[in-house]
Structure formats: structure tokens, C-alpha cells
A and B are shown apart, each in its own frame.
Chain A
Amino acid sequence: MVAGSAGRCGDRTDRRTATGMGGVSSAGRCGPCPRGGDTFTGPFPSCRFALFLAAAITPFLSNMSVYGPVVKIHPVVVASIVDSYERRNEGASRVIGTLLGTIDKHSVEVTNCFSVPHNESEDEVAVDMEFAKNMYELHRKVSPSEVIIGWYATGYDITEHSVLIHEYYSREAQNPIHLTVDTALQSGKMSVRAYLSAPMGVPGKTVGVMFTPLSVKYVYYDTECIGIELLQKTRTSPSRTNGLTSDLTQVAGSAAQTQEMLSTVLAYIEDVLAGKVTADNSVGRYLMDLVDKVPMIPAEDFETMLNSNINDLLMVTYLTNLTQTQIALNEKLVIM
């Protein structure tokens, strides 16, 4: 793995980063960096060592608990990111943008995002700060409770440019989180990872930046759940399309699902009784709960209840038909 430094605009001290093994790279100075107009640019000194700590540390930390807030993401955010990646400019290898959301004591909930145009080349990176500010203001008009909580970038690794951009964002929000979405599927699947930055290094000497990974969870509103379920159906169709289903198909689908679940449970019970599978007490307890949830109603009572309910509904249907005839009549009399 490589240790590196990133030059920082307008700042005389340059920062060094350390390798994951604790060694500090040799010092060197870079001159003051000119800052361009209202875009944030950062030319790098030639004597740099890139920072790739997160990529290095993650395999070690994947089994360890992570320190820091839990990042809760709504699927709409990741979908937006994927969409802006698909619409990126020619030649751009990745997209970046701002994350909006709310901060809690132990968690950060990401509910919205927008992409920010930026230019990246070997030596420098330019981010349109003006645009970002404008968009944030516009978004704030709609949902005043959302604040900037970090930024995202597509791609698998964290690059040196990320450090610069991260510094810019730390000015907008305290402790911004950095989200990477692997849209190019470099790791074989679209992994979404979040990081928090922490300063590190030997005190007294130059300080570096380390990105510590955070745990990512997906959260849904109820209605989002249902929306996502519908979207899942497009995966299976060859043209990736799906019409909105009618009521009948939905009821049938739900009923089929419940049936499936019941048959799985039954199969398990049969296996346990036949001795093929060892009985698991916790599963047994869940089964007890399940059976207890169904109230003990004698069959006749159940039928009467059902009947009266159906009567109610039939009455409503009758009323609606009546009203519809009434409207039609009214129209003929009054308007025509």
C-alpha cells in the first residue's frame, strides 16, 4: 500500500499521511497553492504519495466493529447517484455530489442528494462550489429540515482528489461523511460504503487524513417498501419494464407469498418431527408465537363476522352504484 500526501490550497503547511502500519513518510514541503476564482482547485506537488488507507484497512476492519455513527441510506439516494452516473459527461470517470439528510445522536440518515459538476484531471480537481450552494438553497426551500451531511463519489477507491473535496465539504458541514458507490462494479457488485475522516499522524509533525469506514444500513419508509417491491418486478422482465399491476394480481401475489411461507414452515416442522433436522428452541418459540397470534374463534362466530363484513361491503357497493346512476341522471337533466 502507498502512503501519500495531498497539497492543500491556501495553506502553508502541507499534510502528510501515514501508512496503515504506522510509519510516517519523509517530510517535504510544497509551495503555496494558488486558489482559483470560485471553484476549488488543488494542484498537487510532484512529491506526493497517494492516500489509499480505506482500501487497505477495510479488509481488516470488516470483521471488527466500526466506530462512528451508523449511516442509514434511503434507496432513492443510491438510485439518484446511479442515475447521475449514467448521465455523466463524456470523459468523466466519476461523478460527485452532495448528500443531504439529518443527523441523529448515533446515526446519520441520508435522504436526498444532488450531483455537482466537477472536472478532474491528473493534477487538479475543480468543483463548482457556486452550483452546489445554489442547489442546496433550492432544496432547502422544499425540505428545510435537510442539511448537508457529506458528499458522495462513484467509484471503488478513495483518491487524493477525494481528500481535497472532503476538506471543502468539511467547511460546509461538521464531520461530513463520504459515500462511495461502486457503479463501475469493480468489486463485482455495487457496493455502497461510507467513511468518516479523522486526522492522524505523529503530533508535532505534519498531520494526515484517514478515512475510517462506517456501517451502512438501508432504511425504508413503508410506502418506499411497496414502491421498491414493485420496482423489483422489473428485474425479471426482459425489456426491464413492468406495468402497474391490477388489484387482482396483487392479492393473488400476496396470497401466494403467504402460502409459500407457510409451506416452508410446515416443511421444517415435518423435518423436525421426522428427526431429520435437530429442533432449534428459538425457532420453536417463534412458532409458538405464530400459532398464538391466531385467535381462537369457533367456526360459526368466524362465519358470522365474515358475513356481516361482507354485508357492509355489499352495501357500500350498492350505494356507489346508486350514486353513479344519480350523477348520470343529474347530468342529463341539468347540463345537457
Chain B
Amino acid sequence: MASRKESGVSSSNTLDSPVKQIQIEGLVVLKIIKHYQEEGQGSEVVQGVLLGLVVEDRLEITNCFPFPQHTEEDADFDEVQYQMEMMRSLRHVNIDHLHVGWYQSTFYGSFVSRALLDSQFSYQHAIEESVVLIYDPIKTAQGSLSLKAYRLTPKLMEICKEKDFSAEGLKKAAVGYENMFEEVPIVIKNSHLISVLLWELEEKSTVPSKHELLSLSSSSSHLEKSLQMLMDRVDDMSQDIVKFNTFSRNTSKQQQQKHQYIQRRQQENTQRQSRGEPPLPEEDISKMFKPPQPPPRMDTLLIAGGLSVVLDKHLIQCDFRTLLIRRYCWFVPE
């Protein structure tokens, strides 16, 4: 069976980050679930803001509120104002109003995008300890709550600060797709009163717990969809590779042309000199041969990172679990 590698996302134990653990209240979990359930069926992504405080090396998330969807043109203006008003109102009822991050739902693990990078960068720039919580509703519906917290690695932060997304910049910082995001472990904590509530719910609740986890059928479209997402990403990646190949071919062709031109020039000049005519002026070569644009490297990185996340965190784990169940069943008939 395949071994599970932590590629794509490195654990925060090895890196020196200000946040070693995240503590979430049960209320926040419930609110995120509810937000997706009610508003997220149409579009793929729902977002919201996390509120809380920082205690030593722990980030405590105590509340959250959702963002409305981007439907109108002036969504930006609405967003900032909405956020300000919400925070002001929440302050009146003694809810922590420190912005400590944001959450987003994901569709089959495809959350690594330029927008996410930008948002997370601006958050992390403003507040050192921000995180982005990724909630995967489809995996949750399959039986296990899938909530992950990510931060940008310090190296990536530097690059974003410089805005130097060229190939040399990336090489200098030695950032690979594995060092883009770091995952922070999450712990759920509930207050005493909430525990009382939970006991009460257990008594009163008549909903039978579903054992989706143990379902054997792979005809449920999860595996199919995940594989489709994988194929899409691989397509993106191959397009990117093609772009890079054309670029390198163009550059080498151009180099050749430049050489040829210079040589011809020199030849002509020597010929002219032998005939006693003035040499042709040296033309500015660089203006004649404009170097082709190198394709943006950042996108490659993002695609690679996203791909590896989909592979590792989503597909392999899906696989792993179903394989486990089948192994269980294997032993039953014996």
C-alpha cells in the first residue's frame, strides 16, 4: 500500500512559526458547517472571517461570521463596510473582535489559487498569526470533519512582499511547491456550558448517526470527481509545461538569430572595409530582437502546489480509507 507522504504541505513542527496550534471552539465549527450548508450549494466557495485572540503560541478562534456572496459589481465596497459594521456590532456584545484569519470552503480540494494566495498574504502581512481554514464539505459528508488550517511559509511571504515572481526570484528564495503552505494542527475546545449542552443534545437527539464512513460503494461519485479534478489539474500543468517549452525554444532560437545577425554584420563590415566603404552602423541588437516574455512562474508553482494537495490530502486519503475498509471485509469471510 502506498505510504503517506506529507508533500505539498509541511508540518509546522519543523518550521519556526509563531503559531504552533490552533484552538477552535465548537461554535465556530458549527457555524462554518451551517454557512456552507445553507448558502454554498450553488456556487462553490463560501467565505467568512474568523475572530479570536492569540495566547502564547496558540491561536484561539472563538467566533466567526460569514461574508455575503459576490453578486453585485460594487462588492469591494460592500465587503469592507460590511466587515467594519459587523465587527463594531460584535464588539457591543463582547465578542472578540480581533481578526485572526478567514475561512473558505473548497470543492474537492481545489483551493490553491492566486486569489487565496493574495488574500492570505494580506492577512498574514497585517496580522502575523493569521490562518486560513479550509473546510471540505464533501469529505465531511463522507463521515469525518475535514477542517484544515494553513499559513504561508515565511519564504513565500518574502517572495510575495518583494512581488518578484520571476524564475530568478523563486530560485533565490528556494521555494518549491512543497514549501508554500504549512499546516497547523487544530484542536477543538468547548467550554463547560457547551459540554452541558452537548449532554442535553445527546439525550434529546433522535437522529440516528449515519455510518457513511463504512460505506463500501465507490459508485458514489466522490472517487470519480476527485479523479476528474486531478485530470483537470494535470491538464493545467501540461499546458504550463508547453508554455515553458515554447518559451525556451523561442529564447534559444532568438539567441541563434542574434548570433547569425552579428556574424553577418561582421562579415559585411569586413567586406566593406576591404572595398573601402564606411562600415554600417552598429545597430542596437537588443531592440531588434525583443526577448520573448518568460511565462509567469508563480502560476506554475501554484498549480503544482494545488495538484499535490489534491493528490496527497484528498485522493490518497480517500483511497486509504476505502482500502482499509475493504481490508476489514477481506478478513470477514475467513
Contact = CB atoms under 8 A, between A and B. Distances in A.
A142 B37 CA distance: 13
Interface stretch (B92-100, B122-130, B267-275, B282-290): B92-100
B195 A234 contact: yes
A87 B34 contact: no
Interface centre among A87, A183, A219, A228 (most CB of B within 10 A): A228
A115 interface: yes
Contact of B333 (A185, A229, A234, A302): A302
B112 to A, nearest CB: 13
Contact of A243 (B34, B185, B297, B307): B185
A234 B86 contact: no
B192 A240 contact: yes
Contacts of B234: 323
Contacts of B196: 185, 189-190
Contacts of A245: 144
Interface stretch (B9-17, B153-161, B199-207, B257-265): B199-207
B241 interface: yes
A336 B39 contact: no
A313 B321 CA distance: 10
Interface string A98-118: 000000000000011011110
Contacts, number: 261
Contact of B67 (A131, A142, A239, A336): A142
Contacts of A192: 200
A88 B319 CA distance: 47
B317 interface: yes
A218 B145 CA distance: 20
A250 interface: yes
Interface residues of A, number: 91
Contact of B317 (A185, A247, A257): A247
A39 interface: no
Interface of A is mostly: helix
- For the side of the interface on B, what is the size category? 35 or more
A327 B214 contact: no
Nearest to B147: A244
Contact of B188 (A223, A241, A258): A241
B237 A250 contact: no
Interface of B: 1-2, 5, 7, 23, 25-27, 29-31, 33-39, 63, 66-68, 78, 82, 85-86, 89, 92-95, 137, 140-141, 143-145, 147, 167, 170-171, 174, 176-177, 185-202, 204-205, 207, 209-214, 216, 218, 223, 227, 230, 234, 237, 241, 244, 297, 300-301, 304, 307-308, 311-312, 315-317, 319-326, 328-330, 333
7 contacts: A75-B30, A142-B66, A226-B143, A231-B190, A235-B195, A314-B323, A324-B5
Interface of A: 74-76, 78-80, 82-89, 111-112, 114-117, 128, 131, 134-135, 138, 141-143, 145, 183, 185, 189-192, 218-232, 234-235, 239-245, 247-248, 250-251, 254-255, 257-258, 299, 302-303, 306, 309-310, 312-314, 316-321, 323-324, 327-328, 330-331, 334-336
Closest 4 CB pairs of A and B: A76-B30, A87-B94, A141-B68, A231-B26
